[in-house]
Amino acid sequence: MEPKQVDEAETQRLLDDFSSALASGRVTGESLNYEKSINMLPRHGVFLHWPEQPAEEWIHPEDMELATKMLPGGRIFQLQDCEDPHDQREGYSLISYGDVSIRVLPAMWLQVKESGYKVGDRVEVLGKNGTQQPFIGTLAEVTYNPLSRRVEYLIEFRSMVLKKKYLEEDFRPCRRLGIPLSKRAKAMLNKAGISF
């Protein structure tokens, strides 16, 4: 749906109507409620260091044990709004990595560009003109390297996570036969130039 185009005269009329409604008292502070939560677009980032403040001040108490296992480090988390209204009122956001979710308050967060690949995605490692052995595996870790400022991937092959760190140009999405593609999988295959 295209946004409605408004010319200058229409804009002025809308502003005049709002100003007169505000002056007449038809618009009150209650109708200008700015405290409603705005749905945040998913963002991606890493916690490379612990903030100076104690963990109890920025990690949800129920998620403390899990957070100490996952943070800090180069894992790329997806940041989004908490679904629980109580957690939202407390100011918590949700960071997710694969199936793991942790509730946190704003803290030391380095936003990184999202590649589109997620933990658990099935990929085909390319042969690169014979320089590496091609195979099909599953992304086991998606991490950010602050020195090279690039996203690196660990791939699971035959139930073992390989030690080599791969870059996005080393592999492409791989579809499973007989399983319908999700919208995200279709977008990733299109990005890689693979028709389906």
Gap between the Cα atoms of 59 and 67, Å rounded: 8
Tell whether 157 and 100 lie within a shared domain: no
Does residue 148 form part of some domain?
A: yes
Does residue 2 form part of some domain?
A: no
Q: What is the pLDDT of residue 56?
A: 86
Query: Which tens digit of pLDDT belongs to each residue from 64-118?
Result: 999 989 988 899 999 888 888 898 888 898 999 988 999 998 777 788 888 888 8
Query: Which tens digit of pLDDT belongs to each residue from 119-159?
Result: 999 999 998 787 888 999 999 999 999 899 999 999 999 99
Which residue range forms the structural domain that includes residue 54? 43-111
Tell whether 173 and 152 lie within a shared domain: yes
Domain boundary among 83, 111, 139: 111
Gap between the Cα atoms of 185 and 167, Å rounded: 18
Cis peptide before 72 (omega within 30 of 0): yes
Contact 157, 166 (CB under 8 A): no
Domain boundary among 111, 142, 166: 111
Domain boundary among 66, 86, 111: 111
Tell whether 105 and 130 lie within a shared domain: no
Tell whether 127 and 175 lie within a shared domain: yes
Does residue 1 form part of some domain?
A: no
Domain count, the chain: 2
Does residue 7 form part of some domain?
A: no
Q: 92 CB contacts (<8 Å, ≥6 apart)?
A: 60, 82, 103, 104, 105
Tell whether 59 and 98 lie within a shared domain: yes
Tell whether 137 and 91 lie within a shared domain: no
The tokens for 193 are 């130039």
pTM over 0.85: no
